Structure formats: structure tokens, C-alpha cells
Amino acid sequence: MTTKTTKIAAVVIAAAVVIITIFSVVAALHYRDRWDDIINYESARNNLDAGIVKRLVWVESKNDPGAVSSRGAKGLMQIMPDTGLWMAEKMEISIDTQDLFDPKINIRIGTAYLAYLKNRFDGDMRLALIAYNAGEGTLRKWLSNPELTEDGALVTIPYRETRDYVRKILKVE
């Protein structure tokens, strides 16, 4: 390749990266606005802060209703299929695991599950978010570990992923 061809190729690649980045940002903003009404409604229904739920959706799925994690969590709030079915049964609604890709169903079940966890941990949203991310059983093990607690309160979150997750959602620096 000549120097001129190399420069042209570099410009084309740079332009493509810029276009893809812009598209990704616009798509994320579009999705965010699309789900606001549902998130506001379900957050109010479950006595949750809608801002926290919106940040959870962003952190979990980047506002993509079709998101699937490497572990199989689905949809906007990244609900594990077994958790979704269990929560739907508690809520007395009938779903199939594919319904977790439906934003209305996903947010309805996800907010109900987050409210359930918040209630299980005496209204402590930080602990509810830790349980949402790491699992309720994992959190209970951490809470019973004296190396991680002080006066019964969790002072150390062993998983970096969970520490970052909670910090991003609660906007704690």
C-alpha cells in the first residue's frame, strides 16, 4: 500500500469508529427515554427510587431489552430465568422465560424483585443491590463473616464487580 492509500484507509476507519460510537450513544439515549414511563410507574408501585432503577437498568443492560449475560440473565434488568419465574409466581402472573425480554414484564418483575430484596434487608438499598448483583445467599455469607463486617454491618464487599456495581448505581465515589 502506498502512503496515500494508508492515510485514506486510516481516515475511513476513524470515520467508521466515530459513526458507530455516535449510533451507540443515540441508541442508548433512545432506549433510556423509551423505558422511563414504565420504570417510573413500577418504581412507584414498589416504593423504589426511579433514579436508582434507571441506573440499575443502564449498568445491567445498557438499556438494551434484548441483552443476555454470559450467565443467562435476560432483558433490561438482567433477570435470571429461575428468579423471573419464581418472582412471577409470587406476583401471581404467568410468564415464559422469553417474556423477560419484554420491557414491561422485565421491569415489573425486576422492580418487584429489588423491592423484595430491599424488604429482606430491612430497607437497606445498598444491601438490596449487593444481593441483586451477587445473590442473596452470597450476601448472607458475607454478613456472617466477621472479617467483612463491623458491628453487624458489611464494610467490605469482596467482589470487585459488586463493589463497582453498587458504586455506579448509588453514585458513590
Q: In this predicted structure, what is the pLDDT of residue 171? A: 87
Which residue in the block uniquely carries the three cell numbers 430497607? 123
| Domain that includes residue 147, residue range | 36-170
User: Predicted confidence band at 2 (pLDDT cuts at 50, 70, 90)?
Assistant: confident
Number of domains in the chain: 1
Question: Does any domain span residue 5?
Answer: no
Other CB atoms closer than 10 Å to residue 130's CB: what's the count?
25
Question: Does any domain span residue 118?
Answer: yes
Residue (of 82, 164, 173, 101) closest to 129 by Cα position: 164
Question: Does any domain span residue 22?
Answer: no
Q: In this predicted structure, what is the pLDDT of residue 26? A: 57
Amino acid at 129: L
Question: Does any domain span residue 128?
Answer: yes
Q: What is the pLDDT of residues 42-75, one digit of tens each?
A: 999 999 999 999 999 999 999 999 999 999 999 9
HEC string of 120-132?
Answer: HCCCCHHHHHHHH
Asked if 132 contacts 117 with a C-beta cutoff of 8 angstroms, the reply is yes
Question: Does any domain span residue 157?
Answer: yes
Tell me which DSSP letter residue 164 carries. Answer: H
Catalytic residue among 60, 89, 92, 173: 60
Question: Does any domain span residue 145?
Answer: yes
Which CATH number does the domain housing residue 51 bear? 1.10.530.10
Asked if 87 contacts 116 with a C-beta cutoff of 8 angstroms, the reply is yes
Question: Does any domain span residue 11?
Answer: no
Looking at per-residue confidence, does 119 or 2 come out higher? 119
Question: Does any domain span residue 117?
Answer: yes
Contacts of 130 (CB under 8 A, 6+ apart): 139, 142, 154, 157, 162, 166
Q: What is the pLDDT of residues 66-108, one digit of tens each?
A: 999 999 999 999 999 999 999 999 999 999 999 999 999 999 9
Other CB atoms closer than 10 Å to residue 60's CB: what's the count?
22
In the structure grid, which three cell numbers stand for residue 53, read together? Answer: 432503577
Q: Computed over its alpha carbons, how large is the radius of gyration of the chain?
A: 20
Asked about 60 being catalytic, the answer comes back as: yes
Tell me which DSSP letter residue 156 carries. Answer: -
Q: What is the pLDDT of residues 115-159, one digit of tens each?
A: 999 999 999 999 999 999 999 999 999 999 999 999 989 999 999
